């Protein structure tokens, strides 16, 4: 998206958000009247000699932009539009198999490294990027060092069963969390190519397979 | 206590905490972590850096062979007590809102005659390379120990900077869709076992801000707030902002404003 278009979209959304405020909801977009200036200031904060792909990470898509403006709590109608747009991005493994190897999924769930850039402490090139699921979720019983930003997923498959519909839901949610709840804290692992469709299927296995420690223990 | 033996103690405490925690309830884990922090607080390597900073403050250095004793950190030339706790603030002479580090660099340039590059070359320490800025900021910070953070951001330029910091706090981007608010915008959450403060509240922001600069055991170094926030960006998988970038000063202004009224306990010691 060009900068000009982004600013136009930005202004439009700002006006929309102010409209909501007038309708009675106490929503002021972060930054208030200085939001546009703050965006420019933020973009000017990075070294000119930074590789282009680094700067690409600062570009916001419509979901990011809108979520920021509403402090991650968009009005339902706007949330639904974002969910629809995000649902349309989901891609599946070539094999069509949405539930993979739970043992591989278990490894990925524990890996929190990868993807750090910069001049001070970057990850070495090619370092495995994991799902880092334990940062936010409780999963297997044996792992006590789990975070609480997301809900517990212990016994995920045991409670919900592993019908094709439930497997697809789990896959879709990991691929693009915003397809179900716009502006959720959870990253969109598939959309950004952080995890491959096959890796996502392996994590689905970790969540759903009756033999996985998520369900067995 | 030397930092080596302290580190050994810390590792032992952490190991004990880990073993004890395997079968324990969450509260037990939290207790063990609290004990670990207590063991750390017993002897803070940052104290040595504070003493070094005191020496550097008074030492005549640079092309102008001058000390920093006439540096105005916002309360008047040479007035250090409470200065850290009331920064960032607007400075008439530069026409900018400045944090402790940008103001310190300004003083090194104007009073001592250093170039920007000379003043900021080692803005953070690496193994084998000390950082004067880390030492000076630790010293300046300690002069606010026991005082209340006081950044009401009443000057229009300060108010603007705080709002711009708020904008950045909620701004999502990158391959993980992160913003500061994702982890630091709600109550009572943790990432793995690390408690997360809600930085939008006085209490949460206070807990985060009052203990910096802080010795970080995992890094073996004292970190300033610039270093801390630049690393937050790294963890969010963003590119690295430049040292003293306005957006970092803006975030600091937003956080210090939220933390205003909280009592400083610095230098701190952390994981």
* Residue A125, token pair as written in the block: 């090139």
Most confident of B2-16, B20-34, B245-259: B245-259
What's the pLDDT score for residue B196? 93
Please give the C-alpha separations between residue B57 and each of A57, B50, B121, B215, in angstroms, as whole numbers. Answer: 40, 10, 18, 20
| pLDDT tens sequence across B244-265 | 999 999 999 999 999 999 999 9
Neighbours of A77 (CB within 10 A): 7
**Is the CB of A37 less than 8 angstroms away from the CB of B250?**
no
What whole-number distance in Å separates Cα of residue A155 and Cα of residue A206? 10
Give B40's pLDDT tier (boundaries 50, 70, 90).
Answer: low
| pLDDT tens sequence across A136-169 | 999 999 999 999 999 999 999 999 998 999 999 9
**Is the CB of B171 less than 8 angstroms away from the CB of A194?**
no
Strand partners, B148: B263
| pLDDT tens sequence across A18-54 | 444 444 456 799 999 999 999 999 999 999 999 999 9
What whole-number distance in Å separates Cα of residue B91 and Cα of residue B97? 6
Residue of B nearest to A42 (CA): B247
**Is the CB of A37 less than 8 angstroms away from the CB of B164?**
yes
What whole-number distance in Å separates Cα of residue A78 and Cα of residue A72? 11
At residue B179, does pLDDT exceed 50? yes
Give A78's pLDDT tier (boundaries 50, 70, 90).
Answer: very high
Overall average pLDDT of the B106-126 stretch: 97
At residue B215, does pLDDT exceed 60? yes
Nearest partner of B101 among B63, B131, B77, judged by Cα = B131
What's the pLDDT score for residue A18? 45
Residue of B nearest to A115 (CA): B237
Under DSSP, is residue B72 helix (H, G, I), strand (E, B) or coil?
A: strand
Contact B31, B99 (CB under 8 A): no
At residue B39, does pLDDT exceed 90? no
* Residue B70, token pair as written in the block: 């006439």
Superfamily of domain A102-216: Cytochrome c-like domain (1.10.760.10)
Peptide bond into A213 cis (omega under 30): no
At residue B3, does pLDDT exceed 80? no
* Residue A66, token pair as written in the block: 């809108």
The CA radius of gyration of chain B, in Å to the nearest whole number, is 19
At residue B156, does pLDDT exceed 70? yes
Superfamily of domain B46-270: Cytochrome c-like domain (1.10.760.10)
CB-nearest partner of A117 from B230, B237, B250: B237
What whole-number distance in Å separates Cα of residue A133 and Cα of residue A98? 18
Which residues neighbour B12 within 8 Å (Cβ) at sequence distance 6 or greater? Answer: none
| pLDDT tens sequence across A83-142 | 999 999 999 999 999 999 999 999 999 999 999 999 999 999 899 999 999 999 999 999
Burial B129-144 (b: 16+ CB within 10 A, else e): eebbbbbbbbbbbbbb
Q: What percent of chain B has pLDDT over 90?
A: 77
Catalytic: B180?
A: no
What's the pLDDT score for residue A19? 42
Q: Which residues of A touch B26 (CB under 8 A)?
A: 144
Contact A38, B167 (CB under 8 A): yes
Which residues neighbour B129 within 8 Å (Cβ) at sequence distance 6 or greater? Answer: B122
pTM above 0.95, yes or no: no
> Looking at chain B, which runs of residues are DSSP E strands?
89-91, 96-98, 189-191, 194-196, 214-216, 221-223, 268-270
Domain spans, chain A: 3-74, 102-216
* Residue A206, token pair as written in the block: 């970790």
Contact B87, B102 (CB under 8 A): no
Strand partners, B214: B223, B268
**Alpha-carbon gap: B52 to the closest alpha carbon of chain A (Å):** 25
Residue of A nearest to B22 (CA): A144
**Is the CB of B242 less than 8 angstroms away from the CB of A45?**
yes
Nearest partner of A64 among B179, B165, B231, judged by Cα = B179
At residue B84, does pLDDT exceed 60? yes
Cβ of A21 under 8 Å from any chain B Cβ? no
Give B1's pLDDT tier (boundaries 50, 70, 90).
Answer: very low
Overall average pLDDT of the B4-15 stretch: 44
**Is the CB of B177 less than 8 angstroms away from the CB of A188?**
yes
B-contacting residues in A 40-69 (Cβ below 8 Å)? 41-42, 44-47, 50, 54-55, 57-60, 63-64, 67-68
What whole-number distance in Å separates Cα of residue A27 and Cα of residue A19? 9
What's the pLDDT score for residue B27? 66
Average pLDDT, chain A: 91
* Residue A144, token pair as written in the block: 């006590």
Average pLDDT, chain B: 89
Q: Which residues of B touch A38 (CB under 8 A)?
A: 163-164, 167-168, 247, 250
Please give the C-alpha separations between residue B204 and each of A48, B197, B232, in angstroms, as whole numbers. Answer: 34, 5, 16
What's the pLDDT score for residue B26? 59
Reported as half-sphere exposure (CB side, CA atoms, 13 A), residue A24 has a value of 0
Out of B11, B71, B107, B232, pick the active-site residue: B232
At residue B23, does pLDDT exceed 60? no
Tracing tokens 């709590």 back to the chain, one arrives at A73
What's the pLDDT score for residue B219? 84
Residue of B nearest to A136 (CA): B191
Give B33's pLDDT tier (boundaries 50, 70, 90).
Answer: low
Tracing tokens 């680094």 back to the chain, one arrives at A54
What whole-number distance in Å separates Cα of residue B181 and Cα of residue B195? 14
Cβ of A72 under 8 Å from any chain B Cβ? yes
What's the pLDDT score for residue A143? 97
B150: alpha, beta or left? (left if phi > 0; alpha if psi -120 to 50): beta
Q: Which residues of A touch B185 (CB under 8 A)?
A: 71-72
ipTM given for this complex: 0.89
Tracing tokens 């807990």 back to the chain, one arrives at B207
């Amino acid at each position: 998206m060009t900068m000009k278009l982004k600013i136009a979209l930005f202004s439009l959304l700002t006006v929309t958000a102010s409209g909501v405020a007038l309708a009675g909801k106490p929503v002021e977009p972060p930054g208030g009247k200085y939001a546009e200036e703050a965006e420019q200031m933020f973009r000017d904060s990075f070294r000119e000699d930074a590789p282009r792909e680094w700067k690409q990470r600062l570009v916001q898509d419509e979901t990011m932009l809108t979520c920021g403006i509403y402090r991650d709590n968009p009005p339902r109608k706007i949330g639904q539009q974002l969910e629809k747009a995000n649902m349309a991005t989901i891609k599946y493994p070539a094999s069509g198999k949405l539930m993979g190897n739970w043992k591989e999924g278990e490894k990925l769930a524990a890996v929190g490294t990868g993807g750090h850039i910069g001049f001070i402490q970057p990850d070495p090139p090619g370092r495995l990027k994991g799902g880092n699921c334990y940062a936010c979720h409780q999963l297997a019983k044996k792992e006590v060092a789990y975070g609480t930003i997301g809900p517990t997923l212990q016994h995920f498959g045991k409670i919900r069963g592993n019908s094709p519909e439930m497997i697809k839901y789990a896959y879709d949610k990991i691929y693009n969390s915003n397809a179900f709840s716009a502006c959720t804290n959870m990253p969109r692992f598939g959309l950004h190519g952080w995890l491959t469709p096959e890796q996502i299927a392996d994590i689905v296995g970790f969540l759903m397979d009756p033999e996985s420690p998520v369900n067995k223990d | 206590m030397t930092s080596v033996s302290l580190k050994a103690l810390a590792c032992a405490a952490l190991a004990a905490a880990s073993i004890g925690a395997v079968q324990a309830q969450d509260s037990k884990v939290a207790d063990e972590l609290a004990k670990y922090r207590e063991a750390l607080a017993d002897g803070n390597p940052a104290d040595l850096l504070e003493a070094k900073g005191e020496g550097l403050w008074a030492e005549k250095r640079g092309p102008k062979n001058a000390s920093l004793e006439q540096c105005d950190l916002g309360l008047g030339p040479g007035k250090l007590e409470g200065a850290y706790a009331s920064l960032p603030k607007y400075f008439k002479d530069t026409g900018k809102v400045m944090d402790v580090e940008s103001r310190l660099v300004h003083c090194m340039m104007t009073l001592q005659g250093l170039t920007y590059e000379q003043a900021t070359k080692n803005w953070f320490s690496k193994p084998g390379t000390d950082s004067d800025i880390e030492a000076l900021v630790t010293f300046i910070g300690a002069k606010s120990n026991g005082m209340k953070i006081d950044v009401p951001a009443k000057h229009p330029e300060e108010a603007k900077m705080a709002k711009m910091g708020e904008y950045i706090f909620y701004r999502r981007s990158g391959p993980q869709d992160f913003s500061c608010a994702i982890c630091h915008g709600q109550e009572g959450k943790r990432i793995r076992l690390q408690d997360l403060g809600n930085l939008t509240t006085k209490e949460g922001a206070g807990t985060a801000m009052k203990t910096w600069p802080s010795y970080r055991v995992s890094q073996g170094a004292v970190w300033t707030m610039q270093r801390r926030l630049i690393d937050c960006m790294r963890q969010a998988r963003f590119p690295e902002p430049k040292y003293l970038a306005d957006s970092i000063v803006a975030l600091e202004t937003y956080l210090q404003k939220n933390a205003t009224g909280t009592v400083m306990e610095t230098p701190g010691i952390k994981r």
